[in-house]
Homo-oligomer: A and B are copies of this chain.
């Protein structure tokens, strides 16, 4: 396959599954770096800050620096800092998201009536009061930015709701949809990755394991796409899907060959 100057990697299902590395992942990243390729890593995770994420990546033994990682928490904070730097923000989300928003210099408020904008993400401490406060903001017409729309995430021994639980609740009761989705399949997070790579669109490839997330995000951003079969999707599913990746790879190792 073609050699690209820049690679945007999804992580879970591409580099590791749960706590287990995909065989050859470390060697492939090293081979790509030796070849002079630039790498960046994106994730729809909306509960961990970039620092939290880097710690997990280091524990797994992957040769990735904190500055190369763009989780949806960080991407959302960057998006807001660039476009709504003065906004007072009401957050329904996890500590990792709050840390990134504060780190980006945004002003968070605890009282929804003082907020200019609503930011949502997956929230392990979601409750009726937060949903009521967010509902009030949305009924008052305030803009709504969400880290992502993920419906479900695999956890140790089961499947748990993602940011979609918060989005779904608010969407149902207010009949509004988020105004901005930062994470995949939206192109926003890919744009941030491209800007980090500093390369032209046609020189970059996005590599992921979920068609409706990673591959669609690549298509939305107008870059080449590669699906790996080490994650949640099998070859039959690729054939059934209307969204066709440019490459289908057994595993990330095919990139280094």
Contact = CB atoms under 8 A, between A and B. Distances in A.
Contacts of A65: none
Contacts of A123: 128
A160 interface: yes
A109 interface: no
Interface stretch (A76-84, A96-104, A164-172): A164-172
Interface in A122-158: 123-128, 131-132, 135-136, 139, 151-152, 158
A139 B168 contact: no
Determine the main DSSP class of A at the interface with B. helix
A175 interface: yes
Interface in A42-94: none
Contact of A161 (B131, B160, B164, B175): B131
Contacts of A172: 151, 164-165, 167-169, 171-172
B151 A175 contact: yes
Contacts of A139: 152, 159
A6 interface: no
A232 to B, nearest CB: 14
Contact of A135 (B125, B159, B169): B159
